[in-house]
Amino acid sequence: MKKRGLFLLLFFLVLIVGSGCNKDAAFIEAEYLFDDKETIADFVDPEWEKIEEFLALIARKEIDTIDKFYLYGSEVGYEKVPATNYGYLSFYTNTDLEIIEEIVPLSNTKIRPGKMRANTKYIVIHNTGMASPVMTASRLSKSINNSTRQASWHFTVDDKEVYQQLLLDEIGWHAGSPEGNNYGIGIEMAVYQGIDLNMAMRRTAKLTAWLMLQYDLGIESVKRHYDFSGKHCPQVLMEAGRWEEFLELVQIEYYGQKYFSDVEFIWESLSAELMDNDGKILSTSGKSGSVRYRVLVNYQGKLRTFEFVSGLKALI
């Protein structure tokens, strides 16, 4: 009976904590209430509280789905390519991006000014204006090698790969202003017909957060090309009204990389027909309903499971 009383106490504590700090998230915690090894001391461990706050940051009461947007290209026939955003949750894992180095030869002085940055103040985000389905990060990275156009940037990212074209501390020509070029690291998102734009945004956010930590930069250092030269770039994100959402993704990644490098998160969709284990809402998900998911958290050998539910909200 005594043990049962403790469980009841824990249950009400969860209700109180849950109602206090999870207004946006339907936060269902069940399993660890029945973990015999739990004690009150574990429950109030500040690290676990931080983890719970982090999970609540990732959770959404509703996920926007079936939202139309456009890609923009300079190629004939790909000037304005319609696409659909089915939505996602930004399931965080503490895995590193694999960066493929394709550093442009120094002999190509159109691409490599050969000068180092005296200081790093910005991370400058771009997206390509080439929407044909062949214009992947891989293709763009290889084409820059022989380019005679005076344009260069440090990383090219899409939904599958990350390529590096310049050394990390080298100046590139991408921001359209001396301030942006001399003090900024340029990231180009390759956005083309058929890309999973949400995944490309998440991967770009992961890279951006990693660079912020490398150079001790805050979120105010993350800039659009537009902020330096007025060029309408990153056009796809700006036209779709998703710049703020990108900054939120960067902050989730930053928080995760800074504080939870020793914590393992294993996500599992409990609505496999609607959402995959990466948090991606599937195109077959339909217009309404809800998704449930579970995250197993491993912190210092202690395992806890949390469950959440999110509604799907179709925008058309």
Residues that bind Zn ion (CB under 5 A): 126, 225, 233
Q: Work out the end-to-end distance of the chain between its first and last CA atoms, rounded to an integer number of angstroms.
A: 53
> Which one, 13 or 238, has the nearer CB to Zn ion?
238
> Which one, 66 or 162, has the nearer CB to Zn ion?
162
> Which one, 231 or 313, has the nearer CB to Zn ion?
231
Structure tokens at 140: 């763009």
Q: What are phi and psi of 101, to 5 degrees?
A: -85, 120
Cβ neighbours for 103, distance < 8 A, ≥ 6 positions apart: 164, 165, 166, 167
> Which one, 126 or 242, has the nearer CB to Zn ion?
126
Structure tokens at 30: 């069940």
For residue 234, the minimal CB distance to Zn ion (Å) is 7
> Which one, 4 or 149, has the nearer CB to Zn ion?
149
> Which one, 50 or 139, has the nearer CB to Zn ion?
139
For residue 89, the minimal CB distance to Zn ion (Å) is 28
167: helix, strand or coil: coil
> Which one, 88 or 163, has the nearer CB to Zn ion?
163
Answer yes or no: are the C-beta atoms of 243 and 226 closer than 8 Å.
no
- How many CA atoms are closer than 13 Å to the CA of 56, on its beta-carbon side? 19
Long-range contacts of 228-231 (CB under 8 A, 24+ apart): 228/124, 228/175, 228/176, 228/177, 228/179, 228/180, 228/184, 229/175, 229/176, 229/177, 229/180, 230/176, 231/176
Instruction: Decide the pairing of beta strands 302-314 and 62-65.
Output: parallel
Kindly write down the DSSP assignment for every residue of 216-268, as one continuous string: T--GGGEEEHHHHH----SHHHHHTT-HHHHHHHHHHHHHHHHH-TTEEEEEE
